[in-house]
Amino acid sequence: MKVVTAVQRAISTVSRVEIARWISPGLWLTLLAVAGFGAWPLVIGQASLRETLFTALLAIALASSLNIILGFTGYVSFGHVVFFGLGGYVGMLVLSKGAPLWVAMPLGGLAAGLLAYGLGAAILRLRGAYFTLATIGVNEAMRAFVNNFAPFGGATGISLKFTVYNDYGGAANALWLVYGLLLAVTLAAILLSYTVKTSKFGLGLMAIREDEDAAEVMGVVTPRAKTWAYVLSAIIPGIVGVIFFFKNGNIEPADAFRLQISIESIVMVMLGGQGTVIGAVLGAAGYQQLRSFLLTNPLVKDLQLAIAGGLLLLIVLFIPTGVVGLIRRKLPVLRKLLV
Amino acid sequence: MLLELNCVSRSFGGLHALSDVTITLPQGEILGLLGPNGAGKTTLFNVINGVCPPSAGTVRFRGQDVTGKPPYALSHMGLARTHQIVRPLNELTVRENVMVGACFGHEQRRLGEAATIAEQTLAFVGLEARTNQLAGSLNVAEKKRLELARALAARPLLLLLDEVLAGLNPVEIGAMVEIVRQIRDQGVTIFMIEHVMHAIMNVSDRIVVLEYGRLIAEGTPAQVANDPKVIEAYLGRSPHTAQAG
Ligand SMILES: Nc1ncnc2c1ncn2[C@@H]1O[C@H](COP(=O)(O)OP(=O)(O)O)[C@@H](O)[C@H]1O
Ligand SMILES: [Mg+2]
């Protein structure tokens, strides 16, 4: 009898926490906002708005994924674009062989996840700047490899025949479809980020971020936790890579493994607030806003990367916890909302 | 025997931090570890919990050879420790810090259970008022309690305490000693390093003394307190102080 009540009590505590986890206004408001903005072009059927928001959603998906390894675990992956590029390549390869998009997307994610898993054992042993340098090395090595890898088309890459889009109701229709898919994947990325952050696994990651040796002493199996964090942060970029290059129609090494995308993702996460689900979303949206302004401004058009670098420096120096961290400190009432 | 160290040595470059140390610790005991600064006490704990593997010798815990196993493996087997220099997870709350111990240590609790255990443990060490604060905002005495709570939340079989009394005032020392006794009464075996002489004399069943990495004495508190080698090593080389002690 006693055992039964103890068990009942345990179950009710567990489910109370589990329920509380999903009654999170911060999470739902974020999802709702992204879904609302994201669906707007679909509702009004405006192609130019769709293109603007495509870039923004892409940024949110990449930043939210990067945040898992960068913000939760404290490992600065500078070459994260390698997962986007590899996913894109694997997807384009199977698409060019006639596989449908629904097959290519998971395959791209799988390839990225497998690469992260394999790399994890090797480079996640490195700490701090050494890890960061290794991720850049991996990306550059991958670019060089793909440049000479015949199945991926070497330096010329892979192009899709225009007829491929016929299966998706023609090119114009495919653009809408691709947009809808990206919206869904972006929402999934946010949900994944939140699920990781509020899980036991996520608590282990944050312990690693704060003090890896202490985490290990308390029982966190750090090599395993870090590897899975890396894998989870790689899968969505892999899927997004497939979507992006399918829309693009062709992929080549210089586009797939562009370090600038990595750097910008880091700026987004840091700008919004590393380690927070909302921070990655706000940072990505905010940075894209800034970027589109810069792109249309002829004065600074070619200085984008310099500006991204300068911005990163300013953030690290003055608001290391990002906008969300700043608001949390200044307005503690909003703490609960800013997941 | 819960813990057996057999001829354990550890050197750093040319420095012999530990030489040929053999210690056994039966279940249910409070074993004190005394020794002057730099004697190798913390290094001994690091060797036991796998933070730094011994250069020679073996460590057995719960009858198994655990020499060279990583710290998390020992944690899972039921070993927990506190650090002399506190290592709070600064950007996490006090509750979350303790939950890490409950989630990943000996009992591997689920998140929900861990939250309950964290609250109980924080009340036990008297930190309940700080539960929702960030760990980085605690003062040193509170951080020491947090270290202890984190270790306890794992519900370990063996607890290694590295100078939990250092830096506390006499009232805080009294409270902490009481907590240590209660932990032992719950059936946890304790191995504690301490500088505060009278406290460790009061609370230990048995004491071992290290000097320059070697074990120089072992026995009941009374035996150790009257051991001339200990008096010389621990209370300084001045015969005057030694007599006073
Ligand atoms: N990781 C390390 N690297 C080099 N030397 C160390 C390391 N850890 C401890 N030592 C040295 O080992 C000796 C014993 O240190 P320690 O175990 O911390 O002493 P205690 O805890 O008894 O004061 C000291 O001389 C210290 O400098
Ligand atoms: Mg010490």
| ipTM for this prediction | 0.93
Provide the pLDDT for residue B202: 85
Predicted confidence (pLDDT) per residue in B33-63, tens digit: 999 899 999 999 999 999 999 999 999 999 9
Q: Is residue A297 predicted with pLDDT exceeding 90? A: no
Q: CA-to-CA distance for A145 and A131, rounded, in angstroms?
A: 21
* CB atoms A217 and B71 under 8 Å: yes
Whether residue B211 sits in one domain with residue B104: no
Among B156, B181, B196, give the residue marking a domain's end: B156
Angle CA A310–A315–A319, to nearest 5:
160
Predicted confidence (pLDDT) per residue in A87-129, tens digit: 999 999 999 999 999 999 999 999 999 999 999 989 999 998 9
| Encoded tokens for A46 | 């405006």
Provide the pLDDT for residue B243: 39
How close does chain A come to B232, measured CA to CA in Å?
A: 35
C-alpha pair distances (Å), B207 with each of A90, A207, B218 = 64, 34, 6
Q: CA-to-CA distance for A63 and A229, rounded, in angstroms?
A: 14
Provide the pLDDT for residue A318: 87
- Using a CB-CB cut-off of 8 Å, the residues of chain A touching B150 are 218
Q: Which domain holds residue A189?
A: 24-337
Which residue is closest in CA terms to ligand 1's atom 3? B12
The alpha carbon of A165 is separated from its chain's Cα centroid by a whole number of angstroms, namely 27
A16 within domain boundaries: no
In chain A, the number of structural domains is 1
Among B121, B139, B156, give the residue marking a domain's end: B156
Whether residue B114 sits in one domain with residue B58: no
Predicted confidence (pLDDT) per residue in A32-59, tens digit: 999 999 999 999 999 999 999 999 999 9
Whether residue B124 sits in one domain with residue B5: no
**Among the listed ranges A45-49, A334-338, B163-167, which one has the minimum average pLDDT value?**
A334-338
Among B97, B132, B156, give the residue marking a domain's end: B156
CATH of the domain at B27: 3.40.50.300
Angle CA A331–A332–A335, to nearest 5:
110
Q: Rounded to the nearest whole angstrom, what is the distance from the C-alpha of residue B17 to the centroid of ligand 1? A: 6
Q: Find the chain B residues whose C-beta atoms sit closer than 8 A to any C-beta of A.
A: 49, 51, 70-72, 75-76, 80-81, 83, 87-92, 96, 99-101, 103-106, 108, 110-116, 150, 154
A70 within domain boundaries: yes
Whether residue B65 sits in one domain with residue B28: yes
CATH of the domain at A137: 1.10.3470
Whether residue B174 sits in one domain with residue B54: yes
Whether residue B164 sits in one domain with residue B51: yes
In chain B, the number of structural domains is 2
Whether residue B167 sits in one domain with residue B147: no
Q: Is residue B242 predicted with pLDDT exceeding 50? A: no
Whether residue B134 sits in one domain with residue B29: no
- Using a CB-CB cut-off of 8 Å, the residues of chain A touching B81 are 217
* CB atoms B100 and A218 under 8 Å: yes
Whether residue B7 sits in one domain with residue B37: yes
Whether residue B198 sits in one domain with residue B128: no
A13 within domain boundaries: no
For residue B75, give the nearest of A209, A213, A217 by CB distance. Answer: A217
How close does chain B come to A15, measured CA to CA in Å?
A: 7
**Residues with beta carbon inside 6 Å of ligand 1?**
B 12, 15, 17, 35, 37-43
A262 within domain boundaries: yes
Q: CA-to-CA distance for B142 and B126, rounded, in angstroms?
A: 9
A8 within domain boundaries: no
Q: Which domain holds residue B139?
A: 85-156
A14 within domain boundaries: no
Which residue is closest in CA terms to ligand 1's atom 16? B40
Q: CA-to-CA distance for A120 and A137, rounded, in angstroms?
A: 14
Nearest CA in chain A to B85: A214
| Ligand 1 pocket: which of B15, B34, B82, B84 to mutate (most atoms within 8 A of CB) | B15
How close does chain B come to A200, measured CA to CA in Å?
A: 6
Provide the pLDDT for residue B245: 34
- Percent of chain A whose pLDDT exceeds 90: 76
User: What average pLDDT score do residues A130-138 get?
Assistant: 95
Closest CA to A270 of A259, A258, A282: A282
The answer to whether the CB of A337 falls within 8 A of the CB of A277 is: no
A18 within domain boundaries: no
How many A/B residue pairs have CB atoms within 8 Å?
Answer: 91
- Using a CB-CB cut-off of 8 Å, the residues of chain A touching B103 are 200, 203-204, 219
Residues in chain A: 339
H/E element, A240: helix A222-248
- Measured in degrees and rounded to the nearest 5, phi and psi for residue A72 equal -80, -40
A9 within domain boundaries: no
Whether residue B43 sits in one domain with residue B5: yes
Q: Is residue B236 predicted with pLDDT exceeding 70? A: no
Whether residue B223 sits in one domain with residue B177: yes
User: What average pLDDT score do residues A242-258 get?
Assistant: 96
